[in-house]
Each structure stands twice: as structure tokens, then as C-alpha cells.
Amino acid sequence: MNILVLGSGGREHTFAHQLAKSERCKNLFVAPGNAGTAAFATNVALSVTDFSAIEKCVVDNDIEMVIVGPEDPLVQGITNYFAETHSLKKVKIIGPSKRGALLEGSKERAKEFMMAHNIPTAAYASFTSESLEAGKSFLETLSPPYVLKADGLAAGKGVLIIEDISEAKEELEAMLGGKFGGASTTVVIEEFLDGIELSVFVLTDGKNYKVLPTAKDYKRIGEGDKGLNTGGMGAISPVPFADATLMQKIEERIVKPTVDGLKKEEIDYKGFVFIGIIKVGDEPLVIEYNVRMGDPETEVVLPRIKTDFVDLMEATYEQNLDIMPIEIDPRSAATVMLVSGGYPEAYDKGKKITGVENVVDSIVFHAGTKLDGDDVVTNGGRVIAVTSLDEDYKKAIKKSYQSCEKITFDRMYYRTDIGFDL
């Protein structure tokens, strides 16, 4: 069948790579894609939130399946648009409905969902400009550090963790005053949880689910997890400390109640749930939901899935996941992100990338790249993810670092300590 992947990052290159392995995948399109996807699929220049352009692309190319990578089109209701549009009704689109996507689109909604379904999470309260004084009083009842979250999508920047109470009160006022525009009209204040984080990925068809491999990402720009937050500088799968006991708790207390909650609330959800979990002592609690796969977690989770990916996506759409076997590669995967110097602050684009063809032991997933004539050039902060598989995560990381050394571009930077805390 003809398949379209929406998005342009390392996550979408990885989706395309998995789909292309299937004999069932005839023509593969990625919109807008990058230089990596251009090498084996057809890139289509369009915006992932331009639903009528997507509709035209799907109709013109007889596309039967669409995989949505990023959250924006989901939060804006792309799945509902497909269901309501005559020419798109039968297209197998993978992604939750608009109501489902609110689990990521609104932190307050996510907290209410967790409370309603008894899913363990940090204690919280939410506030608007009318309740600013109550918010300040609520902060007084907590102990530091204080966690303030903009309710809406804020490009990954909407969570603030602050030590000082008066600074926390000032930030609350600034957020409610429009610091993140409409995204911080409501602010969730929550109890700080002290523990170690991991990401759990679930594929659900709305009735059944499969727990996919776990992953841990490294979000800070600097070694030792210091410095500014990024989209993610590297990842490892599986997470060594996610043993059978912890995974059982996560499945019983978090995964099952989440899927059951979606069912009880009659929310159409056929897609990925990315559950950000923090282990406090021995107990898992939910930090956040995302309604898509993570990036760069996808670059370590998907290469470990051996099941035909078109079959898996189709079973999700047809609600047959209960009878769909899923085979996972027992090896570990590690990915290292090569980024543009300056990222996550200002950086240059258009730098020529060389040496990718010399990488033989790893898979090179493009993130922020594009073609410039015959050259592949940088086109974003996160440029390339280098993924390796090996019998344990240390060997996989080592392999990725050996491959990273073969790639160059002006002001290339990467962390050399991925996995340091495991």
C-alpha cells in the first residue's frame, strides 16, 4: 500500500525506515521529510498542520495509511478531519482524536484524567489569573522546589522548576500574565517528585494495547545532565533499571488504567501513548503524557521492533492488536544526537555534512537536514541521530560513538556521556 509519514525529524525518518522494510509498503511518502528520507522515499513539501494540503497529497497519491509523527496536527484534530472528510474516511490514520490528544495538549486535562482513573501522579492544583492569589497561597503549602507548568503546548519550554518561593510566585504571575501566550492562561502547580525518569511507550487501538520497549532520553545540552533543556541529546533502550517488578507495577497501575480510562470516556485513540514516568523509591508515578512517540526515543525503540511495521500499524487501526504478536529484538539500542553548535539557542543552518557514507556499524537517522543540490546540509538544531544495536547498552553506545567520529560538519557538537547514570 501507499503510505504517508507526517513530520520531518529523526522520529519520522525512523518511522519511514521501519515501514520501508515491509514488503507491503509500495510507495512511501514523507511530508515534509528531510535529506535522509529523500534517499528512499518521496518527500512532499507541506506543513503538517495544513490539513487541506495533506488531503490533496493523500488523494493524489492514493495513500491508504498515514502515520502522524508530531503532536501539533493531533492536537489540532487531524484524525477528526480524516473521519469527517469523505475522500479520507477510509484512510488508516494512526494517531488519537482531538479529545485524546488533549492528554498532551492540556496539562490540566491530563491531571484530571489521572485523578479520575486513579493513576499515580504528583499532587497538584491549577490556577488562572482570577485565582492568582490562591495560587500564591498554594505555593506556600508546598516545599521547594516548586513545579510550575503552562497548561498548553509551549514547545517543550512550559515547565519551570524553581527553588525560591518568591521567584516561584513571580513566575506564576508572569505565566498567568501571558509569558507563554495562550498556553499559560492556566498554570498547573504540582508537588516536586524526586526520582529517576524513564519513558514507557504504549501502542493502543482504543481497546487493546501493547507495551513497547522502554527508553531513557538525555534532555540537557551538557555532559552530566547540565545546562539548557533540548529536545533530547541521546537515548537508550531498554532502560536497565526497568526490571520485571517495576514494569509490572507500571502496567497494572498506569498502562491498564490509562487505556481503560480512554475506553470509559469513549475517546477514540488509535496510536502511541508516551508516558513520562518517574520512579520515586520503588514506586512509579506519571509526570506527563504525550500522544505521539518521543524523539530521540523513537530512534532506539522502533529499531528493536521486529514485527512487520505495516502489519502492526494496520492492526492498530483495525483494533486487532489483541491478536497481533509483537517481536522485540533482545539487544540494546543507543542513539547519540549530533547537533548544531549553539543549539538549543541560536545556531547556523546550511552547513555541509560529510562522512555519513563511512558509517557501517550504525544506522544514521536524519533529523534537521536537507538537500542543497547534491550536498546534504544542516537544517535544524538536532541534525543526525546515530543509532547502534548490541548485546548490552554499553557496547551499543560505544559503537555509536565510533560512528559519530566519522561524521563531520562545521560546529558539530554531541554529548559524550550518554548512559552515564545507568
DSSP helix/strand/coil, 47: coil
> Which of ligand GLY, ligand AMP, none is residue 197 near (CB under 5 to 8 Å by kind)?
ligand AMP
Backbone φ and ψ for 15, nearest 5 degrees, come out as -55, -50
Q: Which residues of 228-248 are buried (b: 16+ CB within 10 A; e: fewer)?
A: eebbbbbbbbbbeebeeebbe
> Which of ligand AMP, ligand GLY, none is residue 287 near (CB under 5 to 8 Å by kind)?
ligand AMP
Cβ atoms of residues 109 and 103 within 8 Å: yes
Cβ atoms of residues 33 and 19 within 8 Å: no
Q: Which stretch binds ligand GLY (CB under 6 A): 72-80, 145-153, 263-271, 290-298?
A: 290-298
* Residue 7 lies near ligand GLY (rule: CB under 6 A): no
Of 72, 190, 297, 314, the one binding ligand GLY (CB under 6 A) is 297
By beta-carbon proximity to ligand GLY, the closer residue of 285 and 324 is 285
Q: In what helix (H) or strand (E) does residue 154 lie, and over which residues does it extend?
A: none
> Which of ligand GLY, ligand AMP, none is residue 297 near (CB under 5 to 8 Å by kind)?
ligand GLY
C-alpha cell at 419: 548512559
From residue 266 to residue 305, the character string flagging contacts with ligand AMP as x (rule: CB under 6 A) and all else as - is ----------x----------xx-----------------
As a whole number of angstroms, the distance between CA 344 and CA 231 comes to 8
As a whole number of angstroms, the distance between CA 396 and CA 335 comes to 8
Of 55, 64, 173, 197, the one binding ligand AMP (CB under 6 A) is 197
Of 192, 249, 326, 413, the one binding ligand AMP (CB under 6 A) is 192
Nearest residue to 270 via CA among 317, 308, 322: 317
* Residue 295 lies near ligand GLY (rule: CB under 6 A): yes
> Which of ligand GLY, ligand AMP, none is residue 312 near (CB under 5 to 8 Å by kind)?
none
For ligand AMP, the nearest residue by Cβ is 288
- The residue with cell 478531519 is 81
DSSP helix/strand/coil, 114: helix
From residue 389 to residue 418, the character string flagging contacts with ligand GLY as x (rule: CB under 6 A) and all else as - is ------------------------------
User: What residues contact residue 119 under an 8 Å CB cut-off, 6+ apart?
Assistant: 113, 253, 254, 257, 258, 261, 286
> Which of ligand AMP, ligand GLY, none is residue 214 near (CB under 5 to 8 Å by kind)?
none
Cβ atoms of residues 232 and 344 within 8 Å: no
Position 243, amino acid: D
DSSP helix/strand/coil, 178: coil
> Which of ligand GLY, ligand AMP, none is residue 106 near (CB under 5 to 8 Å by kind)?
none
Of 58, 147, 275, 359, the one binding ligand AMP (CB under 6 A) is 147
As a whole number of angstroms, the distance between CA 377 and CA 398 comes to 26
Q: Which stretch binds ligand AMP (CB under 6 A): 58-66, 171-179, 190-198, 391-399?
A: 190-198
Residues in contact with ligand AMP by the rule CB under 6 A: 122, 147, 159, 190, 192-193, 197, 276, 287-288
Residues in contact with ligand GLY by the rule CB under 6 A: 217, 231-232, 290, 294-295, 297
